Structure 1
Amino acid sequence: MLKAVIFDDEYIVLKGLKMIDWSKYGIEVVGTAMNGIEALEVFQTHRPDIVFSDIRMPGLDGLQVIERILEDKPDTICIVFSGFNEFQYVKRAIKLGVTDYLEKPITIPIIEDAIKRVIEKINIQKSVATLRLRWEDSREELLEKATLDLLLMGEGAESRWRECFGENADAVRNVTVYALSEKCPDLESNLYQIVSVSNGEEHLLVVFQFQDEVDDLFQPLMDWIEEKNTYLGEGRTYQKITDAKKSYKEAKEALRYGRFMEEGWTRFDNIGGETKVVGSLSEQEESIIFHIRTGDKPGLLKQLDSFIHQLNSERLIPDVVEREILKLVYLAMEVAKETGEDIDRQGKFLPHLEIRKLETKDRMFGWLRSQMEMIYDWTRNVRQLTKHDAVNKACAYLKEHYYKDITLQEVSDYIGMNPTYFSLLFKEEMNQSYIKYLTNLRMERAKALLREGHKVADVSEKVGYYSSRHFSDLFKKYVGVKPSQYKI
């Protein structure tokens, strides 16, 4: 029910207006006042939807009261009445935004007509508000759908995305996709627009940047990750909108490795980026690569069983089964080469010849299991023999070059290893990711420089960060206070 108040310095007017059956209009009169000061007190107490007020009242006149009410609660419906039919009052009342202006003497039919007009206006406002909410909800849903299509289809979905994104589409300079292990709260900024989408159990944030740098996104996301003890994978940033499809795939890959490495925030570039074996691989093939790289033999064997079951259920001809098995074996051999060693150094391992000797599917499947286990065991053995020296060499390199804009690819090239393989090897040996190790090096050096009296901006560059804001956020995360507070 709507709440109304009546302000008039004439008792007979107040008494007469109370005789109206307000309830049939869905209105309850919750208060009255006979002067302007009291009127404001009644308004603050009841916060009504509708105000009926005389213009001439002691203390404050009705228009002064209305002015203060509308400043405080602009959506209040205000109706004024007066015995003074003067243009200046009408003009001032209209300027304030009153809904209706009634001349005295006030009769019950006049008030009831005014009430009907008010109710009609309120209903129109509600309808417009409802339509606006529906439109906003619909527009948001359409944008989410168009953005998901952009991630899945790329160029084929760009025109529809631009239509749904609106007039700011041409202002987007970069796009980055983040994959999360659970849904993230809404984040807002003038520097970017985030579209939150879901694809099955995948939770994604698609960040459309209006400027090249969005450093203010780092801290709220990092705070959320730490609060929820959850994971986030970050794809690369692209200038071309349709490359959101690439960033999406990278973000999913980064999230997967981040979970394995128990890193809250994992960037795709920090797990090695593309390798020779990526491309149009199936989910099963990508999963098999993952298990070989991460040293998960039970996971590998389970995925092999799933692969074999699928081949068996599709009733394929022998040539197709043979081709799919060989593809998987050669794929695993490429992964093994990421160690820097060659599993077939002598050139005697010829899978395509060996499988031709097998006459049944069961023998082919048994051979596949044995080959994959052999490749896995060989890879694992090489890892155990080489990881200590390789990681020590990498640590020495990082200590010497920490102040540069150093990349995983650069470190991997220095020690002669595949980037993805190296990042996993480093985690296994050091019990932390290479990027966390590098960050710790930089933070320790930053603390020393701050104690020596260097400016925060200078320290940021001296330890390898060219965005002082990003440096400050990281420093606070690792040290507990901002750089400017630490140096004092």
Structure 2
Amino acid sequence: MIKVVIVDDEPKLRHGLQTLIPWESLGFTVTATATNGKEALSVIEEVTPDVVIVDIRMPIMDGLQMIQHLTAAGRHLHFIILSGYADFEYAKQAIKYGVAGYLVKPVDIREMSASLQRVREQIEKERLHAEQSQKGSLNKDLHLHSLLLSHEKIEDPEKHRNKTKDAGLLWSGYEVVVISPRISDAEQFTALNQLSAGLKPMIEGRYKGVVTILPPYTVLLLNEPIRGKQRREEWYNEIRKASGGLRFVAASGGGVSVPEDICSSYLKAQEAVKQAFFSEKDRLLGPNSHALLPSTGSLRMSEDNAELLEEFIFKIYYSLDIGNQAMILPLLKEAAGYFLNQGQEEKPIKESFFFLSNAVVHKLTAGSRMEWKETEAVSRFLNGIFHHEHLHDLVEDINRFLIAFAKDTEPGGKEQEFKKMIDFINRHYADNLKLDTLAGLLNYSSAYLGQLFKNKTGEYFNTYLDKVRIQKAKEFLSQGVKVYEVAERIGYANVNYFHSKFKKYEGRSPSDYKNL
């Protein structure tokens, strides 16, 4: 049945139309009535009729105002206007809004029935056309999905091409764009449909391609490849406008010239989206858009991963400890470059940075007790590592946190810097300290730092380090610690080497010193 709403301020006319017109036999049903245009707006919103029979003259909001409001809101309704003889010129204004009929009061039943018959025929044509369009759209979607997902060799290319033509998808060129909303799985369905609805007018309405949904993506099949950086930026901005504020990642798969290669473009676009963590943000990604960070520089690529990670931890901690904040970000980028060159995926890289950051924090707080607020801040920061969507942002955030956490100030000249280095050696004598490592962290050449060290201490770096270690060894030996354990504690892996060094500086063996 076709639904009808009657709008008239005269109760007799409303009642008469309801009872005198053979609605059911004409294929209609009266679902509601209203006394003026304003009331009718609420009624129409509630019952969603197909036809509105409306008086042209009514209080509060007249019929023409109501038609104007509904038309501007995009409501497609069939209107039949009722008016007196004096209102004919006024009623003609409604013609531009597509009124289906115009009847003069008092209403003649035969004229009303004839108008309703014409309206019914028009509505049936529209419904048939909509069904055919929907069926055609469904067939187009099915074939589009087969083009996107089919990776098998096409046995009959000519037949396949004819299907593509029937679906309206036979074009001179193609490129696939996939859009992945950054949203929870529970909200994915709504987000994909929101993106699709926002993009269809821009893509299909302007004959630039078609839009479909293949969870977890909204997919665009464009009828020409995207060429040039400026065009990619324009497409990204168009997608952002259509997204309605949704966070998303978008990538294209490269241009292809035949329908059989659409699946290849789709696969490449998917892969680019999956690699978004390693790419630049706020741009339309492509097959070759990975933004790799600097390479590993002088690091020895053959070294064990755990050993390399420990070296990064040591360098970052030492840079923070001596107040050289400028070295932190380059070291973090170098670490990221190493992880990338090792072929690590997003999750392992985040785990590596979690371990690195946690170790640096523990070194910074060694020997002291963190307050509850500091512990909470560290916990939030470490957990947040796994929520970053881009590697660049992750590295920047770690840099900011570590510098803030270390509460460093800018170094006050070379004298203060040197004092910090001496203090560091006295606290970390057991580590594998090297002059060239410290020189790199301080932005000095090894030769310059070695000479500076000799001028300040009267000793060469290695001699000074040995003497600090031997002094610590004497303290441990006096406490009754075994000789081989002392060697390990002060940084000598070989106990015989420790014997020779101890005898060189003390004139006796560690055992003899212990037995004094």
TM-score of the superposition, structure 2-length normalised? 0.43
Larger radius of gyration between Structure 1 and Structure 2:
2
